[in-house]
């Protein structure tokens, strides 16, 4: 009896130890089933971003790319120069490229208004988008009702006005009047020329 059981146990053990034979189409069937499962969107994007790719670039494309980078650098520097030179709140920084010519360099202009009863005075004009809230054009009260602000203006002819207490438009008493009066409020005129 025991011998029969031993024999059966040995037979079962021998069957269990025997290597499994997998059909050649098994792998293919499994991969097909895996691929058909929905992939997570982030994993798809991540795998796209991290999978190395081979790109062919012609010399012309390289040249265009280099030119565009140079233009971006030039334009950015110029924008920084113009912004810093017209905004008194910011310091002038050293330019990486040649500074604008004297003709283009904005000039410092002082605006003065005597308004003893005013609480707030701003200068607006074609040099700051007529914006009474522009930070660089808020006048400071230096006592005795005298309000002043020094701002950088581009060379040329400009129209401007004072705005008192955010509501009252006042022409500059010492400046000539701009002839055009499209909106019922007369502007003052100033000509800014390059310094010698």
Is residue 183 close enough to count as binding other proteins by CB under 8 A?
yes
Position 129 contacts other proteins (CB under 8 A): yes
Q: Which of 61, 95, 135, 173 binds other proteins (CB under 8 A)?
A: 61
The backbone region for 35, taken as left when phi is positive above 0, alpha when psi lies in -120 to 50, beta otherwise, is: alpha
Burial of 164 (0-12, 13-18, 19+ CB in 10 A): buried
Asked if 109 contacts 158 with a C-beta cutoff of 8 angstroms, the reply is no
Contact pattern for other proteins over residues 3 through 22, marking x by CB under 8 A: --------------------
Torsions phi, psi for 125 (to 5 deg): -175, -170
Candidates 38-46, 112-120, 125-133, 140-148; binding stretch for other proteins (CB under 8 A): 125-133
For residue 186, state whether it binds other proteins (rule: CB under 8 A).
no
Residues 6+ apart with CB under 8 A from 136: 86, 87, 88, 89, 128, 151
Structure tokens at 178: 């701009």
Stretch that binds other proteins, among 3-11, 39-47, 66-74, 109-117 (CB under 8 A): 66-74
Separation between Cα atoms, residue 126 and residue 176, nearest integer Å: 16
Q: Which residues contact 76 (CB under 8 A, 6 or more apart)?
A: none
Closer to other proteins by CB, 9 or 96: give it: 96
* Residue with smaller CB distance to other proteins, 40 or 83: 83
Chain residues binding other proteins by CB under 8 A are 55, 57-58, 60-62, 64-65, 67-69, 71-72, 75, 79, 103, 124, 126, 129-132, 155-157, 159, 169, 174, 176-180, 182-185, 189, 191, 193-194, 196
């Amino acid at each position: 009896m025991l011998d029969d059981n031993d024999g059966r146990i040995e037979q079962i053990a021998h069957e269990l130890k025997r290597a499994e034979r997998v059909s050649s189409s098994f792998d293919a069937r499994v991969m097909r089933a895996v691929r058909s499962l929905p992939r997570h969107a982030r994993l798809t994007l991540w795998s796209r971003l991290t999978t190395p790719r081979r790109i062919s670039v012609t010399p012309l494309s390289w040249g265009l790319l280099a030119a565009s980078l140079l233009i971006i650098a030039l334009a950015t520097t110029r924008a920084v120069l113009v912004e810093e030179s017209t905004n008194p709140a910011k310091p002038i920084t050293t330019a990486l490229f040649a500074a604008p010519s004297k003709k283009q360099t904005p000039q410092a202009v002082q605006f003065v208004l005597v308004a003893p009863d005013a609480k707030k005075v701003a200068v607006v004009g074609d040099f700051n988008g007529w914006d009474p809230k522009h930070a660089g054009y808020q006048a400071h009260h230096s006592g005795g009702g005298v309000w002043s602000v020094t701002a950088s203006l581009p060379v040329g002819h400009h129209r401007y006005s004072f705005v008192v207490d955010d509501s009252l438009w006042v022409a500059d008493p010492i400046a000539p009047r701009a002839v055009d009066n499209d909106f019922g409020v007369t502007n003052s005129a100033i000509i800014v020329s390059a310094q010698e």
